[in-house]
Structure 1
Amino acid sequence: MARLAEYDIEDGDGGAVLTLSGPYLVSTIGALDGELRKIDGPIARVDLSDVTEIDTVGAWIACNIASEHEAEITGASERAQRLLGALEGTGSEQDMRPERLPVWTRVPDAMGEKVYNARSGIVGVVSFLGALLISAGNLIRHPRRFRTVALVKQLELVGVAALPIIGLMSFLIGVVIAQQGAVQLAAFGAETLTVNLVGRITLRELGVLMTAIMVAGRSGSAFAAEIGTMKLTEEIDAMRTIGIAPMEALVIPRIMAAVLMMPLLGFYASCMAIIGGAVVGELMLGIPFWTFLSRIQDVVPTYDVWVGLLKAPVFGLIVALAGCYNGMQVKGNSEEVGRRTTLSVVAAIFAVIVLDAFFAVFFTKVGWA
């Protein structure tokens, strides 16, 4: 069994003597380092005569102790003397931590750096859109290259497979809107206006908006993860090598699927929310279920339906672009896949909400309020 490094403190002529013994190597002094740092008493001399082996780490510890206690090093072997000589003058009492700038300086600096670095993201998005338009033009010129099977598969994944979760979410949202709206309207004796509230807010705003958020979290993240993994495993490079354009094979079918399915999913979500509101009307307000549904046709203007249907494909385009773009930007390691997937969801939801606010102002200005 290898001997471990040891130390001993004895009183000697002129003060305490710290005697180091055994091998002072990086592999043997790990447990001893903490104890040596805790020595408080003044040390007059550090004796290395009993040290059997020593390396740079051991010499640094001896040198550090001697410097801290202003002690003399004695008994050093020839090798120890060479190492101690090499370490002489390397110590520094300067504060190694960088100066911390005040918050009113750090925050603007950080924000400015982020804004400055955003230029590369803008250039990347513009380049991606340009490549997408070129690929779409090539498919229009050569329609036989369009991958119908890939589009149908994505239609199933984005649309059909999402029906249960979107239906349940929308139904519960309709229940919440009707219940909370009825409670507030009851103070004015206007519980019957719950029909107007549920119908207009779901068909015009929440149906499409909540669907876009759900699609961003479900399909947008899947687009980024799938394409990002293919980019990381060099499958996309292999596709280019054999003459397959990744934009045509991977990106365009996903974008088309999201654009085509969002109006259908948005209308379906609005219908499920109205059904949820009708259930609350039957149970809480005494409004018969079928009467609630028929009343929707009278109180909801037709343009509310068109507002929702016009916003839906734009939201689908934003969600698909965010997912595919971030997937194509993956490089380096697997951690980048997770980061880009998260970024795609955040960017898509943020863009959808901002666009929804612009649409609300626009349709109000044109008289569809």
Structure 2
Amino acid sequence: MSATADFSATGDDGVVRFTGDLSLARLGSLPDRLAAHGGRVSRIDLSGIDRLDTIGAWVVHRFAAKHDAPVEGLGEDDRYLFAQVEHADQAVATRPATVTPFKRVLGEVGMAVSTATRTMYGLLGFLGATALAFVDIARHPRRFRFNSVVHELEAVGVSALGIVGLMSFLIGMVIAQQGAVQLRQFGAEVFTINLVGRLTLREMGVLMTAIMVAGRSGSAFAAQIGTMKLTEEIDALRTIGVSPMEALVVPRTIAAILLMPLLGFYASVIALIGGGLLTWATLDIPPVTFIQRIREVVPITDLFIGLIKAPVFGAIIAVAGCFQGMLVEGDAEQVGRRTTAAVVQAIFLVIVLDAFFAVFFTWIGWN
């Protein structure tokens, strides 16, 4: 059995030598005797110890720190342990520092701005990588994954027809109902048709479809790619020489770009049907008159505006979803966070771009 830990101070040179087993089970009254030691300590010699554990190293370290004395005589392993104990001897605040509300709000705003800037910078880089992937596929057509694109076309477009149609039908009815109520005050109920036609084809049809696709398909893109990232399937693709951008991102982006104009046009037509039925029921305007009035008051440029915006919205939704999915790392909680971020980011960018398009088309005279 190892001896109990002990120490001795020799001569007037202030050298303190420790002997025995410096472990928790053998320390005994050593900490109390060290605390009572009042002599001069010039250095501490541990060459005579049999064993050293974390508690023993901590006792010696505090004694050495108290007397500002160097520790000598340790082997390589014990020296590493002692260094870790020294590094861990840091003051810990029992309470967080008091921060004024103004500084806290200012810090949160700064953090949000910094995060948004980094995210936008990363999104632009990812958009560039997606464009390069399209270029590589154009140079090597055999790498184009037709089956994947068809699968994504079904997921993004065909499966969304029901919910997009229902949403558009109800929106058309709401626009017609609210327009009729407000215009009735001026005896101009007939202009409800103008409101439904222009607002649906120019803005609401494509915008609401983009928001629906962002919530439905953009989140699915982020969740699917994020899960693949966690299960290391993306690393496996790289290992076998397959580019994740070409295999995962490009098919989804193509599907969103191709389907958004079709979904937007479909949503606009369904919204017109909903608005027409409500004007027929509440304003006694027959469908024939409604259609004729639509043809008279809605310029073809409104349809072109919707069809021009739609593929841009689709590309933004797909890129944002795939980008957030690629950022997943660590644990499954990240999948949920990145999925939420993908939806928020896509909807935000869609609305910003819609505002830009509104100003641009007004500037070029497409009023």
Please classify the TM superposition score into its range, dividing by the shorter chain length. Answer: 0.7 to 0.9
- Structure 1: tracts of 5 or more residues without a match: 1-54, 56-85, 87-93
Q: 1:93-108 residue pairs with structure 2 within 5 A? A: 96-108=94-106
Deviations 1:238-288 (A, max 9, x none): 111111111111100000100110011001101000000110111100000
- Aligned match of 1:137: 135
CA RMSD of aligned residues (A): 2.2
Deviations 1:178-210 (A, max 9, x none): 011001100010101111000000000000000
User: C-alpha separation between the residues in 2 aligned to 1:133 and 1:176?
Assistant: 40
- Aligned match of 1:309: 307
TM-score using structure 1 length: 0.73
Describe the shift of the 1:192–1:300 C-alpha distance in structure 2 as closer, same or farther (beyond 3 A): same
User: C-alpha separation between the residues in 1 aligned to 2:131 and 2:332?
Assistant: 29
- Aligned match of 1:167: 165
Q: 1:113-124 residue pairs with structure 2 within 5 A? A: 113-124=111-122
Letter in 1 for 2:293: R
- Aligned match of 1:197: 195
Letter in 1 for 2:261: P
- Aligned match of 1:247: 245
Describe the shift of the 1:119–1:295 C-alpha distance in structure 2 as closer, same or farther (beyond 3 A): closer
In the TM superposition, residue 111 of structure 1 has moved relative to its aligned partner by 1.8
In the TM superposition, residue 117 of structure 1 has moved relative to its aligned partner by 4.2
| Alignment partner of 1:184 out of 182, 185, 188 | 182
Letter in 1 for 2:111: E
Q: Indicate conservation of the 8 Å contact 2:123/2:320, yes or no.
A: no
Describe the shift of the 1:101–1:280 C-alpha distance in structure 2 as closer, same or farther (beyond 3 A): same
- Structure 2: tracts of 5 or more residues without a match: 1-24, 26-58, 60-91
User: C-alpha separation between the residues in 2 aligned to 1:130 and 1:265?
Assistant: 26
| Alignment partner of 2:155 out of 141, 154, 157 | 157
Letter in 2 for 1:306: F
- Aligned match of 1:210: 208
Farther off after superposition, 102-111 or 191-200: 102-111
- Aligned match of 1:81: none
Q: 1:1-369 residue pairs with structure 2 within 5 A? A: 96-369=94-367
User: C-alpha separation between the residues in 2 aligned to 1:95 and 1:250?
Assistant: 47
User: C-alpha separation between the residues in 2 aligned to 1:103 and 1:285?
Assistant: 56
- How many percent identity over aligned positions? 63
Letter in 2 for 1:185: L
In the TM superposition, residue 294 of structure 1 has moved relative to its aligned partner by 2.5
In the TM superposition, residue 102 of structure 1 has moved relative to its aligned partner by 1.4
Count of aligned pairs? 282
User: C-alpha separation between the residues in 1 aligned to 2:299 and 2:238?
Assistant: 51
Deviations 1:120-158 (A, max 9, x none): 434422332232222211111110110001111111111
In the TM superposition, residue 95 of structure 1 has moved relative to its aligned partner by 8.6
In the TM superposition, residue 354 of structure 1 has moved relative to its aligned partner by 1.0
User: C-alpha separation between the residues in 2 aligned to 1:302 and 1:280?
Assistant: 24
Describe the shift of the 1:198–1:126 C-alpha distance in structure 2 as closer, same or farther (beyond 3 A): closer
Letter in 2 for 1:359: F
- Aligned match of 1:4: none
Describe the shift of the 1:174–1:301 C-alpha distance in structure 2 as closer, same or farther (beyond 3 A): same
